Chains A and B, each alone.
Chain A
Amino acid sequence: MSATQAHAPAATEHRSGAEVVLRALKDQGVDVIFGYPGGAVLPIYDALFQQNAIRHILVRHEQAAVHAAEGYARSTGKVGVVLVTSGPGATNAVTGLVDALMDSIPVVCLTGQVPTHLIGNDAFQEADTTGITRPATKHNYLVKRSEDLASTIHDAFYVAKSGRPGPVVVDLPKDILIKAAPYTEAPSQEEPHRSYRPRTEPDRNTVLEAVRMLKRAERPVVYTGGGVINSGPEASRLLGEFVRLTGMPCTSTLMGLGAFPSSDPLFLGMLGMHGTVEANLAMHGCDVMLNLGARFDDRVTGRLDAFSPGSKKIHADIDPSSINKNVKVDVAIVGDAGRIIAALIEAWKADETPVAKEAQSGWWKNIHEWRGRDCLRYVQSGSIIKPQHAVHRLFELTKEDGRDTFISTEVGQHQMWAAQYFGFEKPNRWMTSGGLGTMGYGLPAAMGVQIAHPDALCIDIAGEASILMNIQEMGTLAQYRLPVKVFILNNEYMGMVRQWQELLHGGRYSESYSDALPDFVKLAEAFHAKGLRAETADQLDGVIREMLAHPGPVIADICVAKDENCFPMIPSGAAHNEMILGPDSDGNARAVTDEGKVLV
């Protein structure tokens, strides 16, 4: 029984279930879906064929459909929509669903199912999709009655995008798609949901308490996360206003990059395992921390008992379960990031508590000192391309290019270098798999972004190992003429694995060499794309320029140093002030305790 039933308006016309599905999608503002057909969803494909309002993008693997929908969603703020068949179609989508769950991305995934009378019979291509996806989704539904079909889809959209966003599955038995079904309009916005009503408006007194704490702070820091992006571009605008109003230093998680402009002098760069010295030491040494829409992830906190030991912590989050989950905080503000920041600005202006200006200028002196260590410095000398340099040049040349630029990544060292060396000035321009760390995310995500922003520059910064996990999507790029650029930092290693083996496992490089790689130039050509390669530093700019200038999809194979490590690095189980800065600094394998080795 669907949760919306009680307040769904009376049914109007009757048509096939499949047509009702499309009508509901259209009424939810859907203009594109990413999918792959099969027996159980043929009625929907038939209905799709007979209409023009919704565009269908045929991917080459169902996992990619979900990542594409994630890219679409993250770059637009809208819900991404997926359509897959029963059984293997649904199971192939599971990795994408968990990815969206971990990174709080709104996705609605429609899965086909065997007809209701066969459910439980081990019918052809039957899988217990709601059972399998229960822990992989924010919520899921199995539609068993035609009367519930439209209202369930409306409900799925509401759940996917309200509160902390996430993926929602609607499992659709084939008989429900064929039989006539009544259509019901989406409930109006004012109508409260029966059971799911997340709080968005913050408590004013708590906001005031936070502001007073921050004004008295001698060493404050703002730590922002994906929640600010989730809240929408207005939250990022307000964040900029608030940080400049208060003059506090601001750092961001991997998921929050772009919410605050990276070029702003108040920005300390990313924090965490591969964050900057200034960001991590500011977190370690602060006396008041303001967390806006971040979840104290283990990649960020490092060793919990040594995490920012001397600070009072304020945590603003829309999901009460994020609060006090890993780190006990002193002030909790539950609500939407945008509304919270607006309330903080208002309270900051109205409240008379004097700001501890003098102390704060001392704090900034410390920060400038840390910044002076220039922890992201690298030296590009000789002909071997440093991966950091490749990203840096890509950044510079895309700035010159001037188009609105969206970056996605795969997972590994290249992902961290992208985060460190590509500056993001605006929200929604950065798509990366943070929580699940899914290799194979970047290419389909870029595809989804390009569908949403046909004129923008969409680049997947990739590793040679990750890209092979969803390389089949080059076919999708060709079919829809999507000019996505795949920029491979080819170090011939699963570099991130190799780095851990070097630092934690005595340099025993077990199975981390990318042997028998394809010729990426020829591979591009086989998929009707352009293939380019840069083997030496002097070829780099030329290849990037050619890539940017080409009107179609490109794979640029950038042959980079094979043994470069990603620094700074807080080894597992260490604290923020125990960073390894580089190969020549003191820290090495000995810095990792046995306790640390257990951690991922």
Chain B
Amino acid sequence: MQRSATIAVLVENEAGVLARVIGLFSGRGYNIDSLTVAPVDEAGKLSRITVVTSGTEMVIEQIKAQLDRLVPVHRVSDLTLEGPHLTRELALIKVTGRGEHRVEALRLADAFRARVVDATTESFVFEMTGNAEKIEAFLALMRPLGLAEVSRTGAVAIARGSSALAA
């Protein structure tokens, strides 16, 4: 039985740490559905990586154990397993065209709460946050309306409630 897992990894903010994590996934043949990284604690020199992956329960257990034994890794948390959590992704979406399509695109963007962050007479750039499904759904609607370019951050995630992931 395959399942998807959103894993948060707290790491030393040092050169090579991302290469280690990506190398682990490619070297051992694990899936990466999305991966994001950014410093989250400059003073404490910590970065946070969010990986969305999928596999059997045994493979996901392996992925977590393999991540955890990397020397610069502080904490590994399987958000999917540990309970309710929030996942968000940011997308910038460029749609080009004129006339009816343009109006329709704007109307749908409004329904999806996508903001217009750039506009010309022939194009819009929409900014949208949400989970992957919501963004996919929006993109599917934009495709026939002149979808020209997409830039997505990949998922970031955090557990609900008061408990916090710390080094």
Contact = CB atoms under 8 A, between A and B. Distances in A.
A238 to B, nearest CB: 25
What is the size category of the interface that chain A forms with chain B?
20 to 34
B27 A135 contact: yes
Contacts of B73: 195
A1 B14 contact: yes
A324 B58 contact: yes
Contacts of A1: 12-15, 45
Interface stretch (A245-253, A315-323, A500-508): A315-323
Interface string B32-76: 000000000000010000000000001001100110111111100
A321 B14 contact: no
A195 B71 contact: yes
Contact of A139 (B19, B71, B167): B71
A324 B62 contact: yes
B69 A320 contact: yes
A48 interface: no
A196 B23 CA distance: 19
B20 interface: yes
A64 to B, nearest CB: 26
A98 to B, nearest CB: 12
B10 to A, nearest CB: 9
B71 A134 contact: no
B14 A134 contact: no
Contacts of A266: none
A325 interface: yes
A321 B71 contact: no
Contacts of B71: 3, 138-139, 159, 195-196
Mostly, the B contact residues are: mixed
Contacts of B45: 1, 6
Nearest to B69: A321
A323 B64 CA distance: 12
A2 B12 CA distance: 9
A142 interface: yes
Given A3-B72, A139-B71, A325 B12 contact: no
A195 B62 contact: no
Contacts of A139: 70-71
A325 B72 contact: no
A134 B13 CA distance: 17
Contacts of B99: none
A321 to B, nearest CB: 4
A134 B16 contact: yes
Interface residues of B, number: 24
A321 B69 CA distance: 8
B129 to A, nearest CB: 31
A198 B58 CA distance: 21
A130 interface: yes
B27 A194 contact: no
Interface in A305-336: 319-321, 323-325, 328
A293 to B, nearest CB: 16
Contacts of B13: 1
A195 B61 contact: no
B36 to A, nearest CB: 20
A194 to B, nearest CB: 7
Interface string A112-138: 000000000000000000110011001
Contacts of A130: 16
Nearest to A138: B71
A303 B12 CA distance: 40
Contacts of A6: 45
A163 interface: yes
A218 to B, nearest CB: 28
Contact of A321 (B16, B66, B74): B66
Nearest to B73: A195
Nearest to A131: B19
B65 A323 contact: yes
A318 B20 CA distance: 21
B62 to A, nearest CB: 6
Contacts of B14: 1-3
Interface string A134-149: 1100111010100000
Interface in A247-288: none
A164 B27 CA distance: 20
B65 to A, nearest CB: 4
Contacts of B62: 321, 324-325
Given A159-B71, A195-B71, A195-B73, A134 B19 contact: yes
Contacts of A2: 14
A164 B13 CA distance: 24
A134 B71 CA distance: 12
B74 A142 contact: no
A142 B23 CA distance: 17
A320 B62 CA distance: 9
Contacts of B68: 320-321
B50 to A, nearest CB: 18
A1 B17 CA distance: 11
Nearest to B167: A195
Nearest to B62: A325
Nearest to B27: A135
Given A1-B14, A321-B62, A135 B69 contact: no
Interface of A: 1-3, 6, 130-131, 134-135, 138-140, 142, 144, 159, 163-164, 194-196, 198, 319-321, 323-325, 328
Interface of B: 11-16, 19-20, 23, 27, 45, 58, 61-62, 65-66, 68-74, 167
Given A2-B14, A134-B16, A142-B15, 18 more contacts: A3-B12, A3-B14, A3-B71, A3-B72, A134-B23, A142-B16, A144-B15, A159-B71, A194-B12, A195-B12, A195-B71, A195-B72, A321-B65, A321-B69, A324-B58, A324-B61, A324-B62, A325-B62
24 contacts: A1-B15, A1-B45, A2-B14, A3-B71, A6-B45, A134-B16, A134-B20, A135-B27, A139-B71, A140-B16, A142-B15, A164-B69, A194-B74, A195-B11, A195-B73, A195-B167, A198-B69, A319-B65, A319-B69, A321-B62, A321-B65, A321-B69, A325-B62, A328-B58
Of all A-B residue pairs in the complex, the 5 with the closest CB atoms, nearest first, are A321-B65, A139-B71, A320-B65, A196-B71, A1-B14
